[in-house]
Amino acid sequence: MKKVSLGDRLRYAFDNTMSKGPIALIGWLAAVAVVLIVPITILVWISGRGEEGSFADQLWNYTLLALDVDIGSATWVLRAAALVVAFVGIFILSTLIGVLTAGVEGRIEDLRKGRSRVIESNHTVILGWSEQIFTIVSELIVANANQRRSCIVILGEKDKVEMEDELRERLGKTDGTHLVCRTGNPIEMADLEIVSLQSSRSIIILSPAEGDPDSQVIKTILAITNAPNRRPEPYHIVAEIRDPKNMEAARLVGQGEVELLLTGHLISRVIAQTCRQSGLSVVYIELLDFGGDEIYFKEEPALVDKTLGEALLAYEDSTVIGLCSSEGYTKLNPSLNTRLRAGDRIIAISKDDDTIVLSGKTDLGIIPEAIKDPSTAEPRPERTLVLGWNWRACTVINELDNYVAAGSQITVVAEGSSAAADLDHYCTDLAHQTVSFQEGDTTDRRTLDKLAVDTYDHVILLCYDHLGLQEADARTLITLLHLRDIAEQHDYAFSIVSEMLDIRNRNLAEVTRADDFIVSDKLVSLMLAQVSENKALNAVFADVFDPEGSEIYLKLMGEYVALGRPVNFYTVVESARRRGEIAIGYRLQAQSGDPAQAYGVVVNPNKSAAVTFGEGDKVIVIAED
């Protein structure tokens, strides 16, 4: 690792100020004037041969002389001093004029191109530039809000000034977080030197929007881990891989220093899970963003030899969801009879890591008579309608096969022949459902009217990936408007889950009152930001989205506690505990259409607060099915 000298730090500070434009350079000129004029005034004042008056008077006179060559009559000593000051004034004025010339402006533009070396430490580096950058940076700003000084350095193949302007326009104030942009290619080792990876806290690699994204990510990982002057300590790198076939290669080049997110499968699983459970995407966002409650790890000596089931009721405003063993093995909702050992850490949802505090309560106010006994219902086959097509569609269908009952059906309606070919190639091993395909324009009302959408339980609307971002979202919005109109005209009841590409278009689409919107880039960005802050969270997210083991479900509250009477959340937790599940929140049906109320979703509620649940309200649990 190259040692940073005092000269390097001074040049870095000088470049940062110079890149801010003419105003910064004028400030430097003023500083030069002060450095030259004040010592000369002091020398004359000490000699006692200056004009009569105070030191401040003489300093004022010499300042005027710096801007005016009229020396006037005076002693030879004063004339000599004034002549020097006059030359200083001429130099300042001529330099100031030179700032406005094309040559100096050209130099300023060179400095603003962002090729100077960053002198920072304990900073987050983001390699690449895409729409994800805005969500990631905004989340990191929130995560760093309690730090006195934090820094995010971005290296992208884009003009430095353009990057800064876009960040300023989209994010506004960054509070105490300093943003530094540099122009360069993330796969070039020389360009990586600019952003000081050796002193960084974490590195996020963004997947490019065009070309072969996985190969670019793998090349970037190689450039980082195999640099000749890399640091001896392991890096904390977070990257996304789209194709599962490339995961093994990425792990090999990562050499154990990279946390990989398989984003294609991840988003497909979210869509598959959410289409069957309205409000689930809101739960995910509540857990993934830094604005409310997040997931933390904490070792709690007072819980040693206690069971995990007992730990569920030990916190007032934190929710235990799993266990990380002393060996580093992470498991969500393990057997609730598992006893905590020394060195084990609980995994909990809380507002901050310092709010995970044992309540010490012995009387929890649980109402035993309000708890319902578990009931079993035979799962019934489901019918799902998929409108549109993209590279994730087959994965969505395959993932949905893990959750539906035998005899379920899927109908795909899309334009072009690629969808039919993909179905024949990638969806041949379905165990619980059959798939049929028909070609059609999903934005055409006549096509939708012929589909008998009222016969389907769920509708999944996917964006076409061969279209531009805004055009794809526009087609999705048109289809959503048609579907909502059909449902209202005929009083049909079916859930609609829609994929959106641009988070800004979600606000427009809310007029359609779809049950859920999946903004894939936003979810991926939130996870990248979370894992960059705590690498252990990658194992937690992998467990949450894996169809094997426990996942997050929304189930009818009436199956857990009595409706129409006040109960606290301790009672709900106890009811879920008896079923081997962990209750983490609830959703109020009356608020399900209100964005200001998070669509009725409440994660990690205060357990002592009494709530009266009604028909349609749901409990959010971590369960195996």
β strands within 163-206, DSSP E: 177-183, 202-205
Instruction: List the single range of 64-73, 77-86, 235-244, 354-363 with lowest mean pLDDT.
Output: 64-73
**Superfamily name and number for 277-374+549-623:** Regulator of K+ conductance, C-terminal domain (3.30.70.1450)
Most confident range (mean pLDDT) of 31-35, 63-67, 291-295, 563-567 is 563-567
Say what the pLDDT of residue 263 is.
83
| pLDDT tens-place string over residues 442-470 | 999 999 989 988 899 889 999 888 888 88
DSSP 31: H
Q: Is residue 73 very low, low, confident or very high in pLDDT (cuts 50, 70, 90)?
A: very low
pLDDT of residue 491: 78
Cα–Cα distances (Å) from 479 to 443, 472, 497, in that order, read 5, 11, 12
Q: Tell me, what's the pLDDT at 124?
A: 94
pLDDT tens string 325-377: 988 888 988 999 999 999 999 999 999 888 999 998 989 999 999 999 887 77
Taking only the tens place, the pLDDT of each residue in 374-430 is 877 778 899 999 999 988 899 999 989 988 999 999 999 998 878 888 998 889 889
pLDDT of residue 215 exceeding 60: yes
Taking 70 as the threshold, does the pLDDT of residue 55 lie above it? no
CATH, domain range 20-111: 1.10.287
Confidence bin at 549 (pLDDT 50/70/90): confident
Above 90 in pLDDT, residue 300?
Answer: yes
**Amino acid letter, 549:** G
Q: What is the mean pLDDT of residues 162-173?
A: 89
Residue type present at position 318:
S
How many CB atoms neighbour CB 466 within 10 A?
Answer: 12
Report percent pLDDT > 70 for the chain: 86
Do 383-518 and 124-256 have the same topology in CATH?
Answer: yes
pLDDT of residue 524: 87
Please give the Cα distance from 301 to 125 (Å, whole number): 36
Strand 319-324 and strand 294-298: the pairing is unpaired
What's the rounded mean pLDDT across residues 298-325? 94
Greatest distance between any 2 Cα atoms in the chain: 109
pLDDT at site 12? 80
Domain residue extents for the chain: 20-111, 124-256, 277-374+549-623, 383-518
pLDDT band at 502 (very low <50, low <70, confident <90, very high): confident
| pLDDT digits 0-9 by tens, 10-50 | 778 777 776 666 667 767 777 777 777 777 777 777 776 65
The answer to whether the CB of 221 falls within 8 A of the CB of 258 is yes
Question: What's residue 76's pLDDT?
Answer: 47
What's the confidence (pLDDT) of residue 112?
A: 64
Four-CA torsion 502, 504, 508, 510, nearest 10 degrees: 80
- At the fourth CATH level, the homologous superfamily of domain 383-518 is NAD(P)-binding Rossmann-like Domain (3.40.50.720)
Residue 99 pLDDT > 80, yes or no?
A: no
HEC profile of 519-587: EHHHHHHHHHHHHHHCCCHHHHHHHHHCCCCCEEEEEEHHHCECCCCEEEHHHHHHHHHCCCCEEEEEE
- CA pair distance 9, 589, nearest whole angstrom: 58
Q: Distance of alpha carbon 256 from its chain centroid, rounded?
A: 23
Higher model confidence: residue 578 or residue 275?
578
CATH topology of domain 124-256: Rossmann fold (3.40.50)
Residues 309, 312, 314: CA angle, nearest 5 degrees: 115
What percentage of the chain exceeds 90 in pLDDT? 41
